[in-house]
Amino acid sequence: MLNASALSRLFARIFNHAGPAVASVSALVLGWEAYVQLSGISPTALPAPSRVLAQGFENREALAGHTLATLQATLFGFASSLSAAFMFSTLIDFFRPLRRALFPVFIITQTLPLVAIAPLIVLWFGFGLTPKIVLVALVTFFPMLVALAQGYESTDRDLSELLASMGASRWRIFIMARLPSARPYFFAGLCISITYAVVGAIFAEYAGAARGLGIYILNAKNNFRPDLVLAAVFVSSTLTLLLFGATVLIQRASMPWLRLSEPTR
């Protein structure tokens, strides 16, 4: 039975952990609300948080539909970029010269300004899901590739030598040692690129789409509805934070040994 004192200790821990963040965010929102109320600024210039919340709630069905479209683009795009990153990082790990051939190309893709490239991708692939997937993949592929390539390199040399002395093939060593060694790097890369992924999807939608938070934001802006723009921004931030949180949870669950401390001898 979870008794009351254990429960209150749990809450105390959560509060200690999250308290400062909650306080600073609340202060920001309250200050914003107070400024809007006291200055009498027009809601078409700066809507109060209370108004953003109310209007967001009123348009919840539309918002939910568009969010779903963005989430879909994010996850599909991310899945493609992950598969590609796995494939290329493995290829590069087995055929080193490929690294010098491919890395410059990958780095160039990272230098392309999204503002310029997003409309072009929409032009080439239409208004459907494909251009979003392409853009999300473009944004997240390189960080994942670098994370994996570095992760393989981090393999303990003694471990590879040991496996070789046991008669393991190069592929076996990759599966048994290099791939698991890359796990912490993989998750570090995942945490970063999952946040890029949502932004990438919204950017693609902004450049032209039938559905999605990006096009919702564009339409709200054109209709002089900054309250709805901010409501959509709030939703997209929440979405990113949830994906980030899910990544951290998976990371913790998949590497239980990292939370184990020194001996209980």
Partner 1 sequence: MSRPRLELHRLRKSFGAVDVLTDISLTVLPGEFVSILGPSGAGKSTILQMLIGATDPDMGTMLLNGAPLVPKRDRFAFMPQRDALMPWRRIIDNTTLGLEVAGLSREAARAEVAPLFAEFGLAGFEQHYPAQLSGGMRQRAALLRTVVQQRPMLLLDEPFGALDALTRTQMQRWLAKMWSRHHWTVLLITHDVREAVLLSDRIHVLSSRPAHVVHQFRVPRDHPRQGVGSPALAAIEAEILQTLLHPEN
The two most distant CA atoms of the chain are separated, in Å, by 77
Contact between 61 and partner 1 by CB under 8 A: the answer reads: no
Give, to the nearest 10 degrees, the angle between helix 226-254 and helix 49-58: 80
Using rule CB under 8 A, residue 210 touches partner 1 = no
- In the complex with partner 1, the residue whose CB is nearer, 58 or 161, is 161
Closest distance of CB 145 from partner 1, Å? 22
Q: Report the alpha-carbon distance of residue 196 to residue 133 in Å, rounded.
A: 13
C-alpha span between 104 and 186 (Å, rounded) = 21
CA dist., res. 255 & res. 258, Å (int): 6
How far is CA 118 from each of CA 125, 129, 140, 154, 258, rounded to the nearest angstrom? 11, 13, 14, 35, 40
Q: Rank residues 4 and 257 by Cβ distance to partner 1 and give the closer one.
A: 257
Which residues within the stretch 163-202 sit at the binding site for partner 1 (CB under 8 A)? 163-168, 172, 176-177, 180, 183
Name the minimum Å distance from CB 180 to partner 1: 5
* Pick 5 or 261: Cβ nearer partner 1: 261
Q: How far is the CB of 143 from partner 1 (least distance, A)?
A: 23
Of the two residues 61 and 158, which places its CB atom closer to partner 1 in the complex?
Answer: 158
In the complex, minimum distance from the CB of residue 166 to partner 1, in angstroms, rounded to a whole number: 4
**Which of 28, 162, 210, 250 is close enough to bind partner 1 by CB under 8 A?**
162
Q: Site map for partner 1, 128-157, x if CB under 8 A?
A: ----------------------------x-
Question: 80 or 251: whose CB is closer to partner 1?
Answer: 251
Q: Are 115 and 58 in contact (CB under 8 A)?
A: no
Residues 201, 73 contacting (CB under 8 angstroms): yes
Amino acid at 239: L
Q: Is residue 253 a contact residue for partner 1 (CB under 8 A)?
A: no
| 260 near partner 1, rule: CB under 8 A | yes
Q: Where are the alpha helices (DSSP H) in 113-182?
A: 114-125, 130-153, 157-165, 170-173, 179-181
Going by C-alpha positions, the residue among 177, 97, 181, 192 that lies closest to residue 142 is 192
Residue 96 in contact with partner 1, rule: CB under 8 A: no
User: Site size for partner 1, by CB under 8 A?
Assistant: 26
Pick 60 or 172: Cβ nearer partner 1:
172
Handedness of CA 64, 69, 73, 75 (dihedral sign): positive
Taking CB under 8 A as the rule, does residue 79 contact partner 1? no
In the numeric block, the tokens 């008794």 are attached to 3
Q: Please, what is the minimum distance in Å from the beta carbon of residue 137 to partner 1?
A: 29
* Token representation of residue 49: 């948080």
Which residues would be at the binding site for partner 1 (CB under 8 A)? 156, 158-159, 161-168, 172, 176-177, 180, 183, 255-258, 260-265
